[in-house]
């Protein structure tokens, strides 16, 4: 603060579009995926509790709205209303719409990455693959909005997520590719293309969240239907493991 003028200016109405790189924050969040974040379990006062509940409510409401309407389509007013607070209050917790969006993305990131992280080398590749399919499908059932949010972000060209994709995610991805390759080398798996296998499992499972409307229109069911969930899981697992050709 050597310039005395800056003291009074106080940012003259958002000049130009700031770099606004919430991307950095997302990369950090992706790296600390397993640890569940800061624990801070010391005794909370009523106020702190209420505040935390509100913050959670805001993120939940924002996720719901963003996942349906997209970043541009969502209005702060709509999110605030869904969270049961005023728009001004919403902006008290998150300085801007994009910051809120980043916070939502950040929160979803761990859920998003968890299944692949748990995909580890084991005796039976078939079991590991089945487990991965199960985990991702459960994710599509229990948190379809998260899946949709990420799909939306990809469709935009992932301006905020790209650093995560080519950074932390690529690291995990490469590791899992190696795992699959090891299975193939050991003769435990047919000669498949490891990267494509992972893409395939993602595509197959996320489809049921992202294209849920279509699935519902054509099959008449959704994953929230227990029978349909089971049926889908077996169908996908069978497809990936054995394909469709008669044996």
Partner DNA sequence: TCGAACTTGGACCATTTGGTCAAACATGGA
Partner DNA sequence: TCCATGTTTGACCAAATGGTCCAAGTTCGA
Task: Give the one residue of 6, 21, 24, 48 binding DNA; rule: CB under 7 A.
Answer: 48
247 binds DNA (CB under 7 A): no
Cβ at position 88, least distance to DNA in Å: 3
How many other CB atoms sit within 10 Å of the CB of residue 209?
Answer: 25
Answer with the entry of DNA, a second copy, none that 4 interacts with (C-beta below 5 to 8 A by kind).
none
Contact residues: a second copy, CB under 8 A: 67-73, 125-126, 129, 148, 151-152, 154-158, 161-162, 165-166, 169-170, 173, 187-190, 192-193, 195-197, 199-200, 202-204, 206-208, 210-215, 217-219, 231-232, 234-236, 238-247
Task: Give the one residue of 21, 51, 120, 166 binding DNA; rule: CB under 7 A.
Answer: 51
How many angstroms separate the Cα of 38 from the Cα of each of 34, 74, 175, 179? 11, 29, 26, 30
Token look-up 């991805």 returns 173
130 vs 133: CA distance, rounded Å: 5
Token look-up 């409510």 returns 57
In the structure, how many helices (H) and strands (E) does the chain have?
A: 13, 0
Beta carbons of 112 and 150 less than 8 angstroms apart: yes
Cβ at position 19, least distance to DNA in Å: 13
Point out which residues bind DNA (CB under 7 A). 10-11, 13-14, 45-48, 50-51, 54, 74-77, 85-89, 91-93, 95-98
């Amino acid at each position: 603060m050597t310039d005395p003028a800056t003291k009074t200016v106080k940012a003259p109405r958002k000049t130009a579009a700031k770099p606004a790189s919430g991307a950095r924050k997302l990369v950090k969040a992706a790296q600390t995926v397993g640890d569940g974040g800061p624990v801070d379990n010391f005794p909370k006062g009523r106020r702190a509790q209420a505040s935390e509940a509100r913050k959670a409510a805001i993120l939940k409401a924002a996720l719901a709205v963003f996942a349906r309407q997209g970043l541009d389509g969502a209005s702060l007013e709509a999110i605030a209303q869904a969270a049961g607070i005023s728009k001004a209050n919403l902006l008290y917790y998150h300085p801007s719409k994009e910051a809120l969006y980043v916070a939502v993305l950040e929160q979803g990131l761990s859920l998003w990455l968890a299944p692949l992280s748990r995909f580890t080398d084991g005796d039976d590749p078939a079991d590991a693959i089945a487990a991965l399919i199960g985990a991702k499908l459960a994710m599509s059932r229990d948190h379809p909005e998260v899946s949709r949010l990420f799909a939306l972000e990809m469709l935009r060209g992932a301006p905020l997520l790209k650093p995560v994709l080519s950074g932390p995610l690529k690291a995990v991805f490469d590791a899992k590719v190696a795992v699959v390759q090891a299975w193939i080398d050991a003769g435990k798996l047919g000669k498949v293309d490891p990267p494509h296998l992972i893409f395939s499992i993602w595509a197959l499972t996320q489809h049921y969240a992202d294209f849920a409307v279509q699935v519902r229109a054509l099959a008449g069911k959704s994953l929230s239907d227990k029978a349909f969930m089971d049926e889908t899981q077996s169908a996908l697992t069978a497809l990936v493991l054995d394909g469709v050709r008669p044996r």
